[in-house]
Amino acid sequence: MERVGRGRVLLLLAIVTTCVLYGALFVLGRVQSIPFFPTQTLQKLRWLDEVTARLMPDNLEAASRRSELAITNMLLFGLVALGLIGMWVLALRLARAGEVHMGLWWILMPVALFSVPLVLMPGMFSMDAYLYMFYGRTLSTYGENPILIAPNQFAGDPHLGWFPYWKNLRSAYGPVWLMLSGGLSTIAGESRFANIVTYKVATLGLHVLTIVAIWLLLRRVRPESAAWGAVFYGWNPLVLIEVVNSAHNDVMIAAFAVLSLLAVSCGRWLLAVFLVSAAGMVKLTALVLMPFLVLAWMIGLPSVRARLRAALLATAVAVVSSLALYAPLWAGAALLENSLENPAATRYAHTFWAVLGAILNRGADRAARDAVQQQLHLVRNAAFVLAFIFLVLWFVRGRRELAHAWVWGWFLYCLSLSWIWPWYFVLPIAIAAARGPSRTAALAGGLTFGGMLFWFGWTAPRISPVTWLNQYKSVLLFGPPLLIVVWPALGRGAERLLSQGATGTRQASDNKQATSERIGGRV
C-alpha cells in the first residue's frame, strides 16, 4: 500500500513538472535568438502576452542569434528539453513497475494538459503547417488540386505571406491528408491564428487516436504493457513537440500504422493492407511498410498455395484501395513526380550524407558539386536497397515480429535519406510503443533523445564556440540511436532505463506470455 501511495505521488510530480516545463517552453517561444516560426498567439491573446513578458527578462527576449545572451537562451532550452525527457522516463518506469495503476483516462488527461501550451505557443519549430494550410486553401477556396497547382500560382493571395519558402512546390502529400486539409481550411477561414489552432487541434486528435489504438492493441496482446506503451508514445516529448506544436502530418501515418497492427492482431490482414495503403496516400514513403506486412501474413500460412493467394489478394487490395483514395484528387504520375523532385529527396541537410558531401565539395566549383551530389544519390540509394534486402531476409528467416521489422526498416530508411528532420521519427516511436518494452523501444528511445538534441543544436547561436552544434546536427540526431545499435551494453542499459519494472510484475506477466505470443506474435 505504501509503495502504491509513493507511486501516485511520483506520477503526480511527473505530470505537474511536465506541465511547468511545457509552460517554460511557451515562455521561451518569445525569444528572438531561437528561430521559431511565429504564430499570432500573443497578438490575439494580449493577457497571455503580458503574463509571459513578466516571466522573460527583456535582455534575453531581445537577444540576437549572434549575441552572447543567445547562449543563455540555448542552455535554458536544453534544460527544458532534458527535463521533459527525464519526466517521461520517470512516468515510463512507474507504468512498468506497477507502482501506480494508470487507466486510459489517466494517460489522456495529462496529454490534454501538456498540449495547451503547445497549441498556443508563440512560435513553431517548423513552417510545414503553413504549407499544409495553403494546400488546404487551394482546395477549399480555389477548388484546385494542390498536387497540380503550386501556391505561387495564386500570387495575390495574402496567405502566401505566412511562409517564406517552398511557394513553388506542388504537393508531395497524398490525397488523404490533402482532403483533411481542405476541410480544416474551410473551418478555419481567413484568420491566421484560427488556421494554426485548427490544424494543431486536428493533429492532437490524431495523436489521441494513436494513443487509444496502442492501448487497445497492447490490451489485446500484452495487457501488462498497455499503460507503458500508451505513455511511451503519448507523453513522448519529441512526439508532442512535432505533432501538437508543429502539427506535422506524420501523426496520421503513425495512426494508420498502429491501426494496421491492431487489425493484424485480430487476423484482419486485408484491412491492415488497406490501412497501410491509406498511410501511403498521406506520404508515399509510408509504402515501405507494405512488403513486411505482406510477408508477415504469408509466413503464418501453412502452404505455398495459401501464401500465393495471400500475396495476390494483398496486392489487389493495395492497388485498388490506393487508386480509390487517389481518385478524388487524381493527378496521374504528378504525385510521384512531386515526391521525387521535393527538396527532401534532392537536397542534403542534417544527415551524415550531407556532412560527407560538404567535405567532398570543399573548394569545388558548381559542376564538381553537381557531380558529387549525383554520386552520393547513387551510393546512398544503393546502400538502402542492399540494407533493405538484408532486413527482409533477416525478417523472413527469423520469423520476427512485424512491428520490430517496421521500426528497423524505417530507421534504415532514415539513415539513407539526404534530408531529414526529427518529425520523421514519430512513426517508429509509435510502432515501438505498440510493441511494448523491448530492444526496439530502446532504439525508439534513442531516436527520441536524438530528436530532442537536434533542436538543441537548432537553437545554437551563430557565434563561437557553439556554432558546431548547428553545423553537425546530424551527429546530435543520429548519435544516440546509433550508439544503442552498435554498443550492446548501452542498448541493454537504455532498455532497462525505459522499461525495467518490479521483479514481481515481470514474473506475473510470464504466465500470460504464451497466450500473448499466440495472439500477437506476428504483431
pLDDT at 96 (0 to 100): 80
pLDDT at 41 (0 to 100): 92
pLDDT at 517 (0 to 100): 39
> Does the pLDDT at position 511 exceed 70?
no
d(CA 253, CA 239): 13
Residue 376 in grid coordinates: 552520393
pLDDT in tens, 342-355: 888 888 999 999 88
pLDDT in tens, 389-415: 999 998 888 778 899 999 999 999 999
pLDDT at 507 (0 to 100): 38
Sign of CA dihedral 186, 190, 191, 196: positive
Q: Is residue 453 within 8 Å of residue 480, measured between CB atoms?
A: yes
Whole-Å CA distances, 366 to 285, 345, 347, 363: 30, 19, 15, 10
Q: How far is CA 301 from the centre of its chain?
A: 33
Number of residues assigned to the chain: 523
Residue 404 in grid coordinates: 520490430
**Beta pairing class for 37-38 and 123-124:** antiparallel
β-pair partners for 123 = 38
pLDDT at 83 (0 to 100): 97
pLDDT at 497 (0 to 100): 87
pLDDT at 390 (0 to 100): 92
Give the chain's end-to-end CA distance (angstroms, integer).
35
> Does the pLDDT at position 516 exceed 80?
no
Calculate the average pLDDT of the chain.
90
- The angle that helices 402-416 and 426-435 make with each other, rounded to 10 degrees, is 160
What average pLDDT does this structure show over 236-251? 97
Higher pLDDT, 371 or 80: 80
> Does the pLDDT at position 445 exceed 80?
yes
The 8-class DSSP code of residue 65 comes to T
Could you tell me which residues come within 8 angstroms of residue 354 by beta carbon, excluding any fewer than 6 positions away? 348, 418, 419, 474
> Does the pLDDT at position 336 exceed 90?
yes
Best CA proximity match to 220, nearest among 288, 177, 266: 266
pLDDT at 6 (0 to 100): 79
pLDDT at 495 (0 to 100): 86
pLDDT in tens, 176-226: 999 999 999 999 999 999 999 999 999 999 999 999 999 999 999 999 999
The number of distinct structural domains making up the chain is 1
What average pLDDT does this structure show over 164-173? 91
d(CA 194, CA 181): 14
d(CA 439, CA 408): 11
Which residue's entry shows cell 540555448? 74
pLDDT in tens, 246-301: 999 999 999 999 999 999 999 999 999 999 999 999 999 999 999 999 999 999 89
Could you tell me which residues come within 8 angstroms of residue 436 by beta carbon, excluding any fewer than 6 positions away? 218, 222, 225, 228, 229
> Does the pLDDT at position 502 exceed 60?
no
Helices (H) and strands (E) in the chain, counts: 26, 2
What average pLDDT does this structure show over 459-472? 84
β-pair partners for 38 = 123
pLDDT in tens, 8-39: 889 999 999 999 999 999 999 999 999 899 89
3-class DSSP assignment, residue 38: strand
Best CA proximity match to 498, nearest among 96, 200, 57, 184: 96
What residues make up the domain containing 515? 2-520
Could you tell me which residues come within 8 angstroms of residue 499 by beta carbon, excluding any fewer than 6 positions away? 92, 93, 96, 228, 437, 438, 441
pLDDT at 519 (0 to 100): 35
d(CA 177, CA 281): 8
For 92, other C-beta atoms within 10 Å of its C-beta total: 26
pLDDT in tens, 69-114: 999 999 999 999 999 999 999 999 988 866 677 889 999 999 999 9
d(CA 118, CA 122): 9
Higher pLDDT, 518 or 129: 129
What average pLDDT does this structure show over 334-339? 95
